[in-house]
A and B are shown apart, each in its own frame.
Chain A
């Protein structure tokens, strides 16, 4: 992300700087090409659009004196911002899944994110994150059994979370609103030879919903570890 940012910063500053390009080449394999190219496109849109508006402001000072001034006005004030907002929303939908964005909003879960990134932690989240068992968007991969209207539902609940955060009325450890869905584990693990071998006896019951993943794994390998001082600040 930072390399992409340096390129975008380069475009936004007026030109692609050589060091930024070199850095980007080193880590290209880690970047989502969609995000990379669309971000560059948006950076160009911002530079041109803002340039048009500034030029129009200084040249015409709010007057509409002909076809050219109207062209500047329509392009800079309406068309380019619409393009920025429309395409930017697609990028936003992609980027909102990253751990960084999750962590920047869900502030009550900071200790959970810290634990996930801690290489010494033995929690499920940390094991998956530090070994890159999940390549990217680690929060999202394990917490997105939303369904069709799930996003709306979760945003509604999010408002309650915001209230609790600012009034400091939340308590750690946070409680899930509903039991964790086995499907979010099984969507990756089910069918893996190692998992099949380890769950030879129980897999039928798991698939039938008679036994849940957390029944066995909560104690030995909890999803997240929280430090004692965070639980009792």
Chain B
């Protein structure tokens, strides 16, 4: 399944915060200019109030509108995006499944822990996806996924993912075939490790 090339503008939350604080400070200056004009009307206060205040109001309103638009776009955007550094856990075995993950960049390791033994089942690359089994089964994750390199993933929420499966049939086929492939790989690995265990026991 190809990863949809959805792009969203991701702003640092600090930028949003400072935009809002700046808008509020501008509004406070406008109130001060208004109070100055009302209390002591002179050429200076009149000039400041009638010439400087309107651009400040415009700037403050634009800042608010910008943040509101950004929030709206983020909310209505299909995907959320996240970056993980090498070694970061994306989710752990037993965690509740909230998202399906689509790898945009980098590689991840799919790991299963079995009685303190950690087995790397597979390595997923750009264009592949994971985490959807827990969403379909409505059960906790049965694997741990860890970033092998620096990874950028597009995250699709549970509700949106299930809607997508319901309404877009090829997607369902694609996801199911991936799940089957992964299950086969896991089964093969398990069979291999069991054979090795027996050999060790015989020896």
Contact = CB atoms under 8 A, between A and B. Distances in A.
Interface residues of B, number: 36
A57 B24 contact: yes
Interface residues of A, number: 42
Contacts of A63: 17, 20
Contacts of A134: none
A84 B24 contact: no
B37 interface: yes
B90 interface: no
Given A73-B20, A85-B57, A5 B27 contact: no
Given A39-B38, A105-B43, A74 B28 contact: no
B38 A43 contact: yes
A92 B54 CA distance: 14
Contact of A101 (B17, B39, B46): B46
B64 A42 contact: no
Given A84-B31, A85-B54, A64 B67 contact: yes
A164 interface: no
A100 B42 contact: yes
A101 B40 CA distance: 10
A74 B27 contact: no
Contacts of B23: 73, 77
Most buried by A among B35, B40, B67: B35
Nearest to B60: A77
B185 to A, nearest CB: 44
B44 interface: yes
B27 to A, nearest CB: 4
Contacts of B54: 85
B64 A74 contact: yes
B155 interface: no
Interface string A148-168: 000000000000000000000
Interface in A91-113: 91-92, 95-96, 98, 100-101, 104-105
B64 A96 contact: no
A56 B34 contact: no
Contacts of B41: 1, 92, 95, 98, 100-101
A206 interface: no
B7 interface: no
B101 interface: no
B31 A49 contact: yes
Contacts of A46: 31, 34-35, 38
B20 A62 contact: yes
B37 A81 contact: no
B27 A53 contact: yes
Nearest to A75: B27
Contacts of A1: 41
Contact of A12 (B20, B28, B35): B35
Interface in A34-54: 39, 42-43, 45-46, 49-50, 53-54
A122 to B, nearest CB: 29
Interface in A52-75: 53-54, 56-57, 61-64, 70, 73-74
Interface string B53-67: 110110011001001
Interface string B1-32: 00000000000000011101101101110110
A68 to B, nearest CB: 14
Most buried by A among B20, B21, B37: B20
B96 to A, nearest CB: 24
A54 B21 CA distance: 10
B21 to A, nearest CB: 4
Nearest to A95: B41
B64 A81 contact: no
23 contacts: A1-B41, A8-B38, A9-B39, A12-B39, A50-B31, A57-B24, A61-B21, A70-B68, A73-B24, A77-B60, A77-B64, A80-B31, A81-B53, A81-B57, A84-B31, A85-B53, A92-B37, A92-B50, A95-B46, A96-B46, A101-B42, A104-B42, A105-B42
